[in-house]
Amino acid sequence: MIRFENVAMRYDGGPEILRDVSFELEPGSLTFLTGPSGAGKTTLLKLVFLSERPVRGAISMFGKDVARLRRGELPALRRQIGVVFQDFRLLDHLTAFENVALPLRIQGMPERAYREDVEEILNWVGLGERMHARPATLSGGEKQRIAIARAVVARPPVLVADEPTGSIDPEMGARLMRLFVELNKLGTTVLIATHDRSLVDNAKARELRLFAGRISQAGGSRWS
């Protein structure tokens, strides 16, 4: 589904942040990306959700070579990937409902076509009563759940989350993790970047360890 082969990445001629990174995400898999701060986890995720392009190596997504993609093809591919950003990236002037509905709205759907779906997913993340609140009035955990709901509302085959439990208490972290596991069981390929060891140990899933820009594996992986 997503395959990295000897990928290297640097910003504007700076030092290489990633080097010779190779792995593959199989459909329906749950994978953790771990490593200390500054190891390159966020940069690797940016490559996965097509925010950046590598300086070397090959990335294949859904059978397409990313290097050969035209600009006009990017939106369709990005719609296949739900992203939960570390800093949530919610739009402060929109309500929780409107933030979650964003991926459907940009597909040109009218509100009456997606209202039920959005309300259902807000109930699923436990925020049905707060759907018309704006982000400024929500707690960190609530924002995180809105961000997750937005990432999955269009049912993308791949979900990528960057430190999804970084700014919330352990109890809420465990609750969010159960959401990811549930999504994974429904068939979504999930990649979670975290430095929270307890999350990884409890989930007993495959782990990609990133250290100083290089990757290693744990948990019986299928990376090459």
Partner 1 sequence: MELNEAARPARPTPLFPRRGGGEGALFGVMAIMSFLACLTLALALGAARLAETWERGLTGQATVQILETPGIALEVQVTAALEVLNATPGIASARVMSAAESAELLKPWLGDADLSAVPVPALIAVTLDPARPLDADALRARLSAAAPGASFDDHSRWNAGLTAASSAIGWGAYAILALIALAASASVVFAARAALQAHRDVVDVLHMTGARAAFIAREVQWRFFMLGGWAGLAGLAGAAALAGAALLAADGPEAAFLPMLAPPWRDLVWLAAVPAAAAAIAMTTARLAVSGFLARTA
Chain-centre distance for alpha carbon 146: 13
Termini Cα distance of the chain: 14
105 in contact with partner 1 (CB under 8 A): yes
Stretch of 31-39, 81-89, 172-180, 205-213 lying at the interface with partner 1 (CB under 8 A): 81-89
* Per-residue interface string for the shown chain with partner 1, residues 35-64, x marking contact by CB under 8 A: --------------x-x-------------
Q: Which is nearer to partner 1, 94 or 181 (CB)?
A: 94
DSSP 76-96: HHHTTEEEE-TT----TTS-H
Q: How far is the CB of 58 from partner 1 (least distance, A)?
A: 22
* Per-residue interface string for the shown chain with partner 1, residues 142-181, x marking contact by CB under 8 A: --------x-------------------------------
Burial 174-203 (b: 16+ CB within 10 A, else e): ebbbebbeebbeeebbbbbbbbbeebbeeb
Using a 10 angstrom Cβ sphere, with 0-12 exposed, 13-18 middle and 19 or more buried, the burial of residue 81 is buried
Q: How far is the CB of 220 from partner 1 (least distance, A)?
A: 32
d(CA 37, CA 81): 24
Q: Which is nearer to partner 1, 98 or 142 (CB)?
A: 98
Two structure tokens written together for 214: 């290089």
Which residues are near partner 1 by CB under 8 A? 49, 51, 71-72, 74-76, 78-79, 83, 85, 89, 91-95, 97-98, 102-103, 105-108, 111, 129, 131-133, 150
